[in-house]
């Protein structure tokens, strides 16, 4: 056993600290060094997206829950009406992307901070990024391809919001 | 002649109850010390020691009493015993402090006082940890003056304001109380840690130093300042009262404004 290299100085259970091992001058390693500004940009993105999200989310809540009839006005037709307007399409798109990326980056940070093994880290992040990708793509498709009156094989799907064809 | 040299008798009458050193109140206190000896067992255990101490005593005095009078195998580092050398940082009642600056009477003496090694660094024996990962990060930020100008014939002068800019971070005694109180450091020990950043700050904001950019580049690493979550554990732990979290924030600012 080459007992002189320890990746993590976390505990006395590290291999080189075993009973009776010749524990002389272990070499501690930082896991490589990174070039580039990714961590800095991620940090900056968190602050900026946070500020923008506060505006977007409270605007969203205000318009949906307080204006006009307020919460009682929310139904399928209300949402369909909003998404017929490019302004709300962009608003909701921005909210979706920023919230997803902000949240994903936050969870990425938590994984980095709390997962102790590199393999655990890798797998948790793969799951995280897959989930994020699916939700962002699905959400974006819904916002842009949303059709309140779908017609399948020439038959109007039941809904009751749409004029008869 | 000799009679005249004798010290004159005191003119102040002391009341009878003022005597020697007996007035300092004494009390019994239990120290619960974390013991680990890799030559005997891989498991760490707790040992309780009951000692009679005085109101002026510190945790270090209690440890001395234990080591000198009860169990000579209790191991800990200390050197100056006066908060200068930074060798006796330990986790006392769950908080990182210097044993030589923590008065027993300031702790709750009705319950056992727990004394553990600082967290996140490999324990060598009892309260002694391997400081090498800590000093490795410290060395990586190049904690020394780098000046590319001509060698001056006299000292390098600096205005009082320029000196004031980094005054706080000059106080560091490298005790590792901050780094070993940081939850990000606990996880994998890869983060540079507050102490390295504090000592980089000391030179980054020194008007006489020319290598600030290099140090900022080093701390822009993925294990650098951006891993700081501003939990303020370091500021709370620092026995020198350094505003550690603020120093880290200033380094973040400096990297940002340099890049953007
Ligand atoms: S910044 Fe404070 S706590 Fe950290 S090593 Fe220096 S003196 Fe110790
Ligand atoms: S022994 Fe030197 S700082 Fe406590």
pTM: 0.82
The answer on pLDDT for A21 being more than 50 is: no
Whether residue A74 lies inside any domain: the answer is yes
pLDDT of residue A146: 83
Q: How far apart are CA A41 and CA A101, in angstroms?
A: 13
CA distance B135 to B133: 6
Q: Is the CB of B131 under 6 A from ligand 1?
A: no
Q: Is the pLDDT of residue A22 over 60?
A: no
Give A67-74's long-range contacts (Cβ < 8 A, gap of 24+).
Answer: none
Cα dihedral A93→A133→A44→A143 (10° resolution): 0
Q: Which residues of A touch B226 (CB under 8 A)?
A: 39-40, 42-43
What's residue A46's pLDDT? 96
Residue in A28, A39, A115 closest to B222 by CB: A39
Return all residues near B14 (Cβ < 8 A) that are at least 6 apart.
none
Domain B132-146+163-259 has CATH 1.10.4080.10: no
- Residue A72 in domain: yes
Nearest to B38 by CA among A22, A1, A4, A9: A22
Share the mean pLDDT of chain B. 91
CATH fold for domain B26-129: Ubiquitin-like (UB roll) (3.10.20)
Residue A113 lies in a domain: yes
Question: What is the chain B residue with the closest CA to A114?
Answer: B187
The pair of structure tokens assigned to B58 is 């510190």
Q: What share of chain B is helix, strand, coil (3-state, %, to 5)?
A: 35, 15, 50
B185-199: average pLDDT: 92
**How many interface pairs between A and B have CB atoms less than 8 angstroms apart?**
86
The average pLDDT across B192-207 equals: 96
Q: Establish whether residue B98 lines the binding site of ligand 1, counting it when its CB lies within 6 angstroms of any ligand atom.
A: no
pLDDT reported for residue A154: 74
Question: Which residue carries 């945790």 as its tokens?
Answer: B59
Q: How far does residue B240's CA lie from ligand 1's centre (Å)?
A: 7
Picking from B230, B208, B226, the residue whose alpha carbon sits closest to that of residue B216 is B226
Residue A98 lies in a domain: yes
Contact call for B132 and A42, based on CB within 8 A: no
* Range from A23-37, A146-160, B139-153, B200-214 carrying the lowest mean pLDDT: A23-37
> What is the predicted pLDDT for the residue at B24?
76
- Backbone phi and psi for residue B142, each to the nearest 5 degrees, phi listed first: 55, 70
Average pLDDT on A38-53 reads 96
pLDDT at A4 over 80: no
| The predicted structure's pLDDT at residue B78 | 96
Q: What percent of chain B is modeled with pLDDT above 70?
A: 91
As for ligand 2, residues whose beta carbon falls within 6 Å of it are B 78-81, 83-88, 98, 100
Q: What is the mean pLDDT of residues B251-257?
A: 96
Which tops the pLDDT comparison, A89 or B4? A89
Nearest atom, ligand 2, residue B78 CA: 1
What letter does residue A162 receive in the DSSP assignment? S
B132-146+163-259 matches B26-129 in CATH topology: no
CB contact under 8 A, A33 and B221: yes
Q: Average of pLDDT values for A128-149?
A: 92
In a domain, A19, yes or no: no
User: Pick from A10, A40, A42: which is nearest to B188 by CB?
Assistant: A10
Report the distance separating Cα A141 and Cα B205, nearest Å. 50
CA distance B229 to A125: 20
Query: How confident is the model at residue B10, as a pLDDT?
Result: 59
The minimum CA-CA distance between A47 and chain B, rounded to whole Å, is 13
- A11 domain-assigned: no
* CATH code at position A61: 1.20.1300.10
Q: Which ligand is nearest to the CA of B101?
A: 2
CA B82 to ligand 2 center in whole angstroms: 5
Residue A21 lies in a domain: no
Which residues constitute the domain of residue A92?
34-147
Are B35 and B116 within 8 A, CB to CB?
A: no
Domain count, chain A: 1
Ligand nearest to the CA of B76: 2
Query: In chain B, what are the domain boundaries?
Result: 26-129, 132-146+163-259
The rounded mean pLDDT for chain A is 80
CB B203 within 8 A of CB B209: yes
The pLDDT, as a whole number, for residue B246 is 97
The ligand that comes nearest to the alpha carbon of residue B244 is 1
Q: Pick the atom of ligand 1 nearest to B89's CA.
A: 8
Can you tell me the ipTM of this complex?
0.79
- Ligand 1 atom at minimum distance from B181 CA: 3
Q: What pLDDT, on the 0 to 100 scale, is given for residue A157? A: 67
For residues B77 and B88, the answer to whether their CB atoms sit within 8 Å is: yes
Residue B19 pLDDT grade (very low, low, confident, very high; cuts 50, 70, 90): low
Q: Which of B138, B149, B222 is nearest to B188 (CA)?
A: B222
Residue A26 has pLDDT above 60, yes or no: no
Could you tell me the two tokens for A2? Answer: 């080459």
A18 domain residue, yes or no: no
d(CA B255, CA A150): 53
Instruction: List, in sequence order, every residue forming a beta bridge with B129; answer none if it has no partner.
Output: B123
> Would the pLDDT of A15 be above 90?
no
* Interface contact B189-A10, CB threshold 8 A: yes
A24 in B contact zone (CB under 8 Å):
no
Q: Are B154 and B210 in contact (CB under 8 A)?
A: no
**Element (H or E) spanning B60, and its range?**
helix B59-65
- Residue B58: strand pairing partners: B103
Which residues in chain A have Cβ-Cβ distances shorter than 8 Å to B38?
A: 12, 17-20, 23
pLDDT band at A16 (very low <50, low <70, confident <90, very high): very low
For the ranges A73-82, A117-126, B34-43, which has the lowest average pLDDT?
A73-82
A30 at interface of B, judged by CB pairs closer than 8 A: yes
B188, A116: Cβ pair inside 8 Å? yes
The pLDDT, as a whole number, for residue B151 is 87
Q: Closest by alpha carbon to B130, among A116, A2, A118, A16?
A: A16
Look at B183 and A113 and tell me if their CB atoms are within 8 Å: yes
| Across A73-90, average pLDDT | 87
For chain B, what is the radius of gyration of the CA atoms? Answer: 23
Does residue A129 have a pLDDT over 90?
A: yes
């Amino acid at each position: 056993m080459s007992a002189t290299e320890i990746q993590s100085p976390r505990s006395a259970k590290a291999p080189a600290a075993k009973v009776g091992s010749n524990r002389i001058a272990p070499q501690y390693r930082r896991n490589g060094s990174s070039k580039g500004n990714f961590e800095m940009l991620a940090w900056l993105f968190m602050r900026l997206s946070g500020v923008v999200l506060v505006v977007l989310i409270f605007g969203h809540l205000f318009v949906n829950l307080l204006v006009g009839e307020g919460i009682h006005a929310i139904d399928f037709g209300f949402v369909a009406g909003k998404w017929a307007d490019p302004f709300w399409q962009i608003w909701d798109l921005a909210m979706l992307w920023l919230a997803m990326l902000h949240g994903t980056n936050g969870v990425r940070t938590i994984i980095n901070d709390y997962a102790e093994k590199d393999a655990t880290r890798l797998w948790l992040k793969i799951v995280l990024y897959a989930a994020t990708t699916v939700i962002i793509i699905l959400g974006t498709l819904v916002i842009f391809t949303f059709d309140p009156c779908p017609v399948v094989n020439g038959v109007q799907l039941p809904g009751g919001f749409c004029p008869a064809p | 002649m000799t009679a005249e040299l004798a010290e004159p008798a005191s003119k102040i009458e002391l009341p009878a109850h003022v005597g020697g050193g007996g007035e300092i109140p004494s009390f019994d206190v239990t120290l619960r010390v974390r013991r680990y000896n890799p030559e005997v067992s891989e498991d760490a255990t707790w040992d309780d020691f009951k000692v009679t101490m005085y109101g002026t005593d510190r945790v270090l005095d209690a440890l001395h009493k234990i080591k000198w009078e009860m169990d000579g195998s209790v191991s800990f580092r200390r050197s100056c015993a006066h908060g200068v050398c930074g060798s006796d940082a330990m986790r006392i009642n769950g908080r990182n402090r210097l044993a030589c600056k923590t008065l027993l009477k300031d702790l709750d003496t009705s319950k056992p006082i727990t004394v553990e090694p600082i967290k996140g660094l490999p324990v060598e024996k009892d309260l002694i940890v391997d400081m090498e990962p800590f000093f490795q990060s410290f060395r990586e930020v190049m904690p020394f003056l780098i000046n590319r100008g001509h060698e001056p014939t006299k000292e390098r002068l600096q205005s009082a304001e320029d000196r004031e800019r980094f005054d706080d971070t000059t106080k560091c005694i490298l005790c590792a109380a901050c780094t070993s109180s940081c939850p990000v450091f606990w996880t994998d020990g890869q983060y540079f840690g507050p102490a390295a950043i504090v000592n980089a700050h000391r030179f980054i904001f020194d008007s006489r130093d020319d290598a600030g950019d290099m140090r900022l580049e080093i701390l822009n690493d993925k294990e650098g300042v951006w891993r700081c979550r501003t939990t303020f554990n370091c500021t709370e732990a620092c026995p020198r009262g350094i505003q550690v979290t603020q120093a880290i924030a200033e380094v973040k600012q400096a990297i940002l404004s340099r890049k953007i």
